[in-house]
Amino acid sequence: MSGFFDIPSDLQHSWLGLVGLHLREALLPVLAGLLVSLPVAQLCVRFRWLYPPVLGVTTVLYAIPSLAFFVVLIDYTGQTELTVMIPLAVYSLVVLVPAIVDGVRSVPQETLAAATAMGFGPVRRYLQVQLPIAVPAIIAGLRVATVSSISLVSVGMLIGNQGALGNLLNDANIYHRPELAWNSVITTAVLAILADAALVLVRLLLTPWMPSGTRSRRRKPAAAGPDATVPALEDAR
């Protein structure tokens, strides 16, 4: 009757349905964030003076607590999925923009010159040279954004049960069924870890020229100065 995967009917979803809903509410914002940050990052690479103010704006937006962001949006988008997804998309920018900018900037000057000498135009050079070389940095950013997005969706429960797996938490409370809370926490954490692993796999597939183990790279002393992507990535929730 009250097994681990028996979801109360008020949620109108099976367990798998909630998982699907959770993934949609978490991943679509990251995708939207990526689509916005690619051109923004390109502008920041092109016009260097633009980068510090863009970083400042994303940091300030990121500082706004999710619950506050949600409730202010209720006035415009109601208690819907969209209200949960907009803040998540905005939060992803704080990780993705620096990741892409650092990735694109890390392309060596000689490589760019070689591409130009081969007759690549700016668009083709961006798509076929700069972006592929920036893939590891972009994926690193995507990993942080995706994992924190999956974790944050649960908060949507507070605004009219829009939290997918987070809705189980409320039901655990009102029906006195702690196993539902366990279910929510464990499923969310497993989803996050699986998404993380999937992105690592994507990176391995997209960058066949890189050594598959990161170990050899890590051992090297950081003599070339601090790795600029690390602080930016760790800035995430």
Q: Which two tokens stand for residue 207?
A: 């960058």
Question: Which residue is listed with tokens 């819907």?
Answer: 80
* Cα 56 to Cα 94: distance, rounded to the nearest angstrom: 9
* Cα 34 to Cα 26: distance, rounded to the nearest angstrom: 13
Interface residue with other proteins among 1, 49, 108, 234 (CB under 8 A) is 234
Q: Which residue lies nearer to other proteins by CB, 114 or 230?
A: 230
Smallest gap from Cβ 236 to other proteins, in A, equals 7
* Cα 180 to Cα 124: distance, rounded to the nearest angstrom: 51
Smallest gap from Cβ 59 to other proteins, in A, equals 7
Residues 33-72 that bind other proteins (CB under 8 A): 59-60, 62-69, 71-72
* Cα 88 to Cα 66: distance, rounded to the nearest angstrom: 8
Q: Which residue lies nearer to other proteins by CB, 115 or 171?
A: 171
Q: Which residue lies nearer to other proteins by CB, 63 or 117?
A: 63
DSSP conformation letters of 28-44: HHHHHHHHHHHHHHHHH
Smallest gap from Cβ 164 to other proteins, in A, equals 11
Report yes or no: 112 and 125 within 8 Å, Cβ to Cβ.
yes
* Cα 41 to Cα 34: distance, rounded to the nearest angstrom: 10
82 lines the binding site for other proteins (CB under 8 A): no
Number of other residues whose CB lies within 10 A of the CB of residue 48? 10
Q: Which residue lies nearer to other proteins by CB, 31 or 197?
A: 197
Contact segment (CB under 8 A) with other proteins among 4-12, 44-52, 145-153, 202-210 equals 145-153
Contacts of 140 (CB under 8 A, 6+ apart): 99, 229, 233
Residues 158-217 that bind other proteins (CB under 8 A): 158-159, 165-166, 169-170, 172-173, 178, 181-182, 184-185, 188-189, 192-193, 196
> What residues line the site for other proteins (CB under 8 A)?
59-60, 62-69, 71-72, 74-75, 144, 147-148, 150-152, 154-155, 157-159, 165-166, 169-170, 172-173, 178, 181-182, 184-185, 188-189, 192-193, 196, 218, 221-223, 225-227, 230-231, 234-237
